[in-house]
Structures are given as C-alpha cells and as structure tokens.
Chains A and B, each alone.
Chain A
Amino acid sequence: MDLHFGDSEPTDEERAAVDSLLGPATSAWEGAADRSDVDLRWARGGREARERRDLLLPGLHAVNDRVGWISEGALAYLCRRLTVPPAEAYGVATFYAMFALKPRPAKVLHVCTDLACAGNGSAKLCADLEERMGAAGSVSDGVTWQSSPCLGLCERAPAALLLQAGTPSGTAAAQRDPRLRNTGAPALPVGPNETDEPVRAAADAEVTPIRADLGTADAPNGAVVTPPRAHTNGSSAEPALRRQAFAVIAPATVDTLVDAATAPEDAPEEPSAAMAVPQAGQDGLLLLQRVGVVDPFSIDDYRSHGGYNALRTAFDIGPAGVIREVTDSGLLGRGGAAFPTGRKWQATASQPDRPHYLVCNADESEPGTFKDRVIMEGDPFALIEAMTIAGYATGAHVGYLYLRGEYPRALHRLENALTQARLRGFLGDDVLGQGYAFDIEIRRGAGAYICGEETALFNSIEGFRGEPRSKPPFPAEKGLFGKPTAANNVETLINVLPILTMGAEAYAAIGTENSTGPKLFCVSGNVERPGIYELPFGATLGELLDLAGTPTDIKAILLGGAAGGFVRPDERDIPLTFEGTRAAGTTLGSGVVLVMDDTVGLPRTLLRIAEFFRDESCGQCVPCRVGTVRQEEALHRIKDRTGAAASDDVALLREVGQTMRDASICGLGQTAWNAVESAIDRLGAFK
C-alpha cells in the first residue's frame, strides 16, 4: 500500500474524537505527536491496524458527531490509525448523507419531505422555514437545515430531526469496543457506579449526552446507565462546551423547529413510543404486547412480562431444535423479501466455515416504515433476546445490530439494554450459564437507504462503501467479513419469541397457510389514527383501514413503501398476505400502508418517489444510476400533462423501468419503477 496522508493535521478536538474510539495513538506510525526511539526501529500499524478497517465508519461518526463535519486533517488521522488509504476513506465518507466534508454548523436540522410528511404539510413547513432561517443549506445562527428522506416518524408527520454535534459522554464510545469482534465477548469496563443492580438514577444532565429520554412518559424514572469511557485521555484537556444532543420534533411547526434549532436541550419531550401503537395494551398482541406496557429501560420489567422465557426454551431444545421450530412455524422474512427464516438459519448453521455472524438489519429506511423503530424504542430487550436466540441457532458468537443513523432514541435505548443484559449475564461469555458466548455490537448507519440491502449493509459494516455485492454467493455462504452470516430484519427476529414460547404449531395456526403469524403494518398518511397495527395475516386492507379510520375522500393507497405499489381505495378486499397481495398484482413489502387524499396530487407524489430513488441510488450499476435520473426527468416533464401529451414519456418510462427491473444489481434499482408503474396501470395516472 502506498499510503500518502498529506500534510493536514487534525485539531485537538478531532484527535480526541478518534482517540475516544480507538484509544490513544501508541506510536508515531499511527499519528502520535511525538516520535520515540522505538518508532525508529519498528513499524507499527500494518496488518494489525488494517484488520480494524470495520472501525472506519464508527470513526467517521465519532468525528462528525463531535465536530459536525470531517476535515482533511481528521480524515487523514483516522486513516493513519486504521491504515486505510485516504482515497478509500474519502470514498466511504462521501457515500453517506449524514457526513459533511465541508465545514458546517454543529446544529443540522433534517426536515422530512417524504411521502407521509408531504401529505401532512411538509411543503408549507419548508417554505415557512425558508422565510425564518433562509434557504436550505444556508447557515443562520449556527444552524443549517436540509430536507431529508423519510425519518421513520410517519405517525407524527410532518417530522424533523435536529442533531447537534458536540462532546459525548461515555455511553457511545464504551459500547463500541474495538476488541469485541475478535474475542467474541464484551470487554465493557464496569464503571464505579455500576453494581449488580444497574444504577438507574444516574440521569444527571452532566453525564447524559442525549436528553430526549429523560423523564419521558414511557420512562418516568429517566433510566440511563452511563458506563465510563473506554479511553479517557485526550478528553480531559478539551474544552467541555457544547454537548452532543438531538431533538425529534414531530409533529413539527415552524415555531417548534426554530425553537429546537435555537436550544435543542429545551425542545419538548418526544412522546412515548407507545403513542405510535393505537392498540397498545390490548389483549392478544404478540409482537406489540409489551410496547407501552413495560419500562423500556428495565430488564426486570421486561422479565416480569415474559422476557427471556423464549431464550430459556431455546437452550432447552438446542440450536437444531430452534431451527426446527422456526422452520415449522413457516416464518417468512418481514423485511420485504419474504424468504423463509428457518431455511436461512439452517443454511447458515450448516456451513463448516467459522466464525458465523448474525446481523440484525435495523436500517429501516423505506419511506413510510417505522415499525422497527417503535419496537426498538418500546421493547428493546425483545430484540436483544431474539438476536441471542438467532445467534445460538446459527452458531454465531457475535451479532451486529446495524441501526439506522437517524434513530438516536432507539440507539440510546438499545445501548442501555445491551449494558443491562451484559451485567445480568444475558449476554457475554456464558449466557445464562449455558456455556454459550454471545454479544451484540451496534453499528450506526449514516444516511444511506441502500445499506438496508443486506450485502450493502455488510460492506458498510466492514468499512467500505455501502454498495451491494452481486449474488451468488449468498450471505449464508459468504456474508459479513466473507463468513457465513444470517441477516434478519427486526420484525422477523421478534417473531421468534412467540414461536418459541407458544410452539411452532400454535404460531402456524395464526394467519393463513402460506403467510403464518402476526404482521405489523405501518399505517400513515391521511388516516385518523396513524401508527403500527398488529394483525394476523389474512386480514383485508379494508379491515386495517377501518381500524385506522380513513376519511371518505382517499384517492390512493401505497402498499410496501416507495419500492411497493399503489392500489385503489376500492380494492379493500385485498388480503394482506404475501400470496394475497401477489395475486392482486401488488406487494406487501415491509408492511407500509400509506393513505393519500389529493392534497399533494399523484404526479407530485410520483416525482417525490423518483427523487428518492435518484438520491439513494448508490451509483454502482448503470441502469439504476442513470435510469433513476431519466425516470425523474420524464416524470418532471409530464407532471402537468395527460393523454397524448404524456404518452411518449410514459412509453419511455416503461422501457427505462423495465431495464432497471431486469438489469440492476440489487433490489433498489429493481423496484425503483414499481410505484410509478402501478400508478400508471392501476390508478390511471397521466391518462
């Protein structure tokens, strides 16, 4: 490797940010300020450092979170520490929307302009905001704002997220222990205020970076466990001025946005995750039974509501038994592709190559989807337990939880859940005294829809650009780090809990023959009670809409998100099952049910979808990279046209769309034309 780092030096703050993740530099080879005699004799870094390439993305986060952007000096220092060529690191950093490589203010306001928010006034909101704070991208009073793809807050549209860069407290750094992957066990230091009973009163504003959970409705005790920093040097010297903070503003008005941008610490508390579950507390729920019922900060509360019974069952029946139960249950993946989970686990478990990895895909970014967020915020221990079971079944000792970068509250709660689970022996070298070692590491995405594609997600974790790989080989054979990997969506994983507690047969009795079990639906748009609904497979679209309460003047319903398809309001009889939607020529996708009246208008909605795919295309293959641009251009030309005036462009759209579907590498390009096609064929758009 011809490493060439340039002359840029990091500032003290940037150096501290990187060191908080990687520890202090131990030699001048790694960028330490002083050169020692030993450095003249032995080179450091090299292979050992290169094997930590997967810390590149956390390193970029560390700098971006603290400074607000990534300078040449900071990138060069990070590259030196990890022996990564700067050109590659630059390619990675520029891939993600949440990173800036040019100076920008510490406070960035992301205003969602995606489908559900557009139907709830985001255009007006942006116009008002432009008046108060200047055009998007401009800087006023230390804040900049920008429009954002779906933030997964559709039940409270229009939504916005404010992120303030600053010094963190120890939470985030300590969770990301670089040794975790190699040892397969956590090396989390136990802090002075952590005893067997986690201290739940440590919610002191001084040590808590993330304010939004303090005193929230669903966590009245403000439970935050704050482990100390893994590495403390460097941090004592820095001026402790601005703290890292975030504020979720939804539903947003221009006043609340401006207030939050002025003082994120004083923004009103975000409502409890249970507010997104209209059925919260009802009997008979399997997946949502604990959301709004348990304290998401308390492992004891989780256990007193049936938590960790499924893991005990798993240990009783052994890994093969778990896979048999999951296979017999008929569970199909809930991320959109509907692949049989049991088969995926069996294929991974039977690979002779070691180690095996488990990956939880929590990079929920499909416009209109917010179910995984609600689960992670409302019942985080359930996901930890389900991942442990999946790891046990597939022979993995490390699980990666790839969490969407725009979900700070879920991150905070999951980090707390991991800490508590480790302290109580539910994670670690010897889970529940059963001799099984398992731990979970959270990896944050950084604003790239494509990273929800499993192989792009692997590349992202490994520290490469989040570009999909071509399949075959499939992840069960060569996945994360080239090793056998089982990758599952959050909702898929938490279905494993009822499968084990009630038995495969009872679970399979729910739903229909080919779509078993309960399903979560993300209902948003123009409905009276937006939110997550749990229904057994087989309920019709009409039944779901009745639960959510629809006005009479709806024009279209989008199933499955931007990658899904539109159906007409009169198609209420479509059964919400994988086979039922397929038979009706549409898709269930990730469970999005987005109801639209005509406030926005179909052509504008289609244009927004096309913009979304253009923005989110990774650019690797031609059909998607250029096709999504041509699709948007054509939709732009005909947004006010119909009939003969639009027919040429509709024909063009069809041909480009078919090529994207047939010739793109991954699901993004293959589905980028679905919604537009369904609008033309089913709703008669541009007729």
Chain B
Amino acid sequence: MTVVPLQLPRRLLEFTLDGEPTRVPEGSTILDACRAAGKDIPTLCEGDTLTPKNACRVCVVEVEGARTLAPACSRRAEAGMKVSTDSERARTSRKVVLELLASSTDLSTTPRAAEWIKEYEAKPDRFGPDAARVNETPKIDNDLYVRDLDKCILCYKCVDACGDQWQNTFAISVAGRGFDARISTEHAVALPESACVYCGNCIEVCPTGALSFKSEFDMREAGTWDESAQTETTTICAYCGVGCNLTLHVQENEIVKVTSPHDNPVTHGNLCIKGRFGYQHAQQRG
C-alpha cells in the first residue's frame, strides 16, 4: 500500500482537450490531463520520478495558436487552452520522430516501441540503407551492469538520476555535440575508474534497455531472457534500517533483476548498490 501524502487542495482549471472540456488541478501538465482522460500518448524521456527533460519529442501535441507543437510531458495546462493530441500535425511529428529514432538506434528492447511504430505507420527504413546510425558496441567493463549505447536515445534520464535529481554522484554526463553526443564518463574512462557508485538508479530509469543488469544482458545474449516467465515479489531490503522496498524479478527461481516501486515514498524507485545488486547470498543454496 502506498501512503498518499495530504496536500493543500489545488484549484481546478478548465481547458479543451481534443474538443472535450477537461478540468485538471492547477499545475498539471497536458500529459497528466491526457492520462486522467485515458488518452495514450507515447513517451520515452518522460519519467515518473524525474523532472521532464522534454528531449525526445514523441509526446508532442498541438496547442491552438502556438507556432510550434508543445511537449505534453512538460507543458502545463492553462485555462482556456485548446489542445489536440491527435491532429494531423502532431501525428506526423510523432511518426517522424519515431522514424528518426528507430533508424539511428536499436529500439528492440524499448517497451512499446514496436507497438507505436505500428500505430503511427512509421517506416524507419525510408532513410535508406546508408542512413547514419549510432553504431556503438556494448560497454562491458564491470560485473554489475552493461552500457549498450547503440540503444541509447539520449533521453538524459540516467544523467539526471545520477546527478542532482537523485544520486548526486555525477559520474556521467552528455559529452560531444549533435549526432555524436553520447552519455559518457570523463574522458570516456571505464565505469570502475569513474565516480560511479553502482547504485543502478540509472538502469531503473533507462527507457530503452541501453542500461541493463549484467544478468539481464547475459540472458538476452544467451536467448534465455523470458519476461513472461518471471514473477515479481516486493519485499523490504534487510541491509540497513531505511526500509527500502525491493522488487525481486525472479525467473526459474533465480533473482535476475532488482527494481524498486517508483511510488514508494522511501525510495521513489532508487536504491543503493547493496539493495540493487547484493542479492547473491539469497541464492547460495549449497
């Protein structure tokens, strides 16, 4: 059960969403309003525990009178605003953004990417066989997690989670510019030489699987990763007195991954190296 903290009541404001009058609490984003109204807007760089970076632009919607489209994840609803989520312009932009992403990066482990590509009739192949790709090989420089930048869409979530929004470790940043920009440590040194503390909070927020547990990466390579055969059990970490919730992902009686519920008021999805990776003792059965 999640504790819902009491807040001062917020005033409601009214605006038009796809022709329907909609009332949302002041301060809500357009995305909040869409979700409350049961509308499914694709999102990638938006994270429920992070400040919207609005970098991926797959959630753009059309606001009447605005010169450009607005990112639903960060634009706040204003009284009297007229928003259409499904206009021709918004759909075209979402489609092309999906095409641009899928033609330059590997979206094979991005949840729902295939579904959106189908829904928007995106054709990533239209840019031809010579279209430039990110072309990175997985960086395996430690025993805990793998960085496969070929799958990275540069959503900045890992940087924000590592930096001032959660962990305050600042081990990674975006380096370079434009199409050559990459998530990197200083001078691209291996993770063990960097400031990384292996909390794994970057993996927790990664929307594409570019960052993954080594256990998951190895099983995917071996073809044994099977999410449908996994169970999830939420328990409490026993390492210290903070009381973080752990969700153990178990396949064939082995823990393959550990996450934390994002709505948990203690962790907000974040853990430390012990909670996230220190589960081997539970599997010592000999």
Contact = CB atoms under 8 A, between A and B. Distances in A.
Contact of B170 (A2, A655, A659, A664): A2
Interface in B154-194: 154, 156, 163, 168-181, 184-187, 189, 193-194
Contacts of B93: 623, 658-659, 662-663
B60 A663 contact: yes
Interface stretch (B19-27, B126-134, B219-227): B126-134
A628 B130 CA distance: 15
B101 interface: yes
A647 interface: no
A95 interface: yes
A621 B57 contact: yes
A619 B153 CA distance: 10
B113 to A, nearest CB: 13
B154 A619 contact: yes
Contacts of B103: 626, 630
Nearest to A617: B178
Interface string A559-591: 000000000000000000000000000000000
Q: Describe B's contact surface by its main secondary structure.
A: loop
Interface stretch (A14-22, A81-89, A292-300, A361-369): A81-89
Nearest to A615: B178
B16 to A, nearest CB: 20
Interface string A600-631: 00000000000000111111111101111110
A194 interface: no
A470 B60 CA distance: 13
A561 to B, nearest CB: 19
Given A85-B170, A90-B173, A91-B173, A623 B100 contact: yes
B117 interface: no
Contacts of A662: 60, 68-69, 89, 92-93
Nearest to B130: A633
Interface in B21-59: 54-58
B23 to A, nearest CB: 22
A670 B69 CA distance: 11
B96 A656 contact: yes
Contact of A661 (B68, B97, B104, B156): B68
A1 interface: yes
B228 to A, nearest CB: 31
A621 B54 CA distance: 8
A2 B171 contact: yes
Contacts of A90: 173, 175, 184-187
B207 to A, nearest CB: 13
Contacts of A94: 175-177
B92 A659 contact: yes
Contact of A623 (B97, B154, B194): B97
B92 A658 contact: yes
Contact of A663 (B97, B170, B181): B97
B60 A625 contact: no
Interface in B46-103: 54-58, 60, 68-69, 71, 74, 89, 92-93, 96-97, 100-101, 103
A2 B169 contact: yes
Contacts of A88: 163, 170, 173
Nearest to B156: A620
Given A621-B56, A623-B96, A659-B93, A2 B69 contact: no
Contacts of B172: 87
Contact of A622 (B97, B126, B174): B97
A629 B174 contact: no
B31 to A, nearest CB: 14
A87 B54 CA distance: 22
A509 to B, nearest CB: 31
B110 to A, nearest CB: 13
Contact of B185 (A87, A620, A621): A87
Given A6-B189, A619-B180, A663-B97, A626 B171 contact: no
Contact of B197 (A2, A448, A659): A2
B186 A619 contact: no
B178 A628 contact: yes
Contact of B74 (A2, A465, A470, A664): A470
Contacts of A622: 55-58, 97, 100-101, 153-154
B195 interface: yes
A622 B197 CA distance: 30
A615 B56 CA distance: 19
Contacts of A619: 154, 174, 176-181
A645 interface: no
Interface in A518-572: none
Given A470-B74, A616-B178, A663-B68, A87 B131 contact: no
A101 B100 contact: no
| Residue among A75, A94, A658, A664 facing the most chain B CB atoms (10 A cut-off) | A94
Interface string A90-120: 1100110000010000000000000000000
A652 interface: yes
A87 to B, nearest CB: 4
A665 interface: yes
A626 B71 contact: no
A317 interface: no
Contacts of A101: 187
| Residue among A627, A656, A663 facing the most chain B CB atoms (10 A cut-off) | A663
Contacts of A6: 186, 189, 193
Interface in A622-673: 622-623, 625-630, 633-634, 637, 652, 655-656, 658-659, 661-665, 670
27 contacts: A6-B189, A75-B187, A85-B171, A87-B173, A87-B185, A87-B186, A95-B177, A470-B54, A470-B71, A619-B154, A621-B55, A622-B97, A622-B100, A625-B178, A625-B181, A633-B127, A633-B128, A633-B130, A637-B128, A655-B92, A656-B96, A656-B100, A658-B89, A659-B92, A661-B68, A662-B93, A670-B68
Interface of A: 1-4, 6, 72, 75, 85-91, 94-95, 101, 448, 465, 470, 614-623, 625-630, 633-634, 637, 652, 655-656, 658-659, 661-665, 670
Interface of B: 54-58, 60, 68-69, 71, 74, 89, 92-93, 96-97, 100-101, 103-104, 126-128, 130-132, 153-154, 156, 163, 168-181, 184-187, 189, 193-195, 197
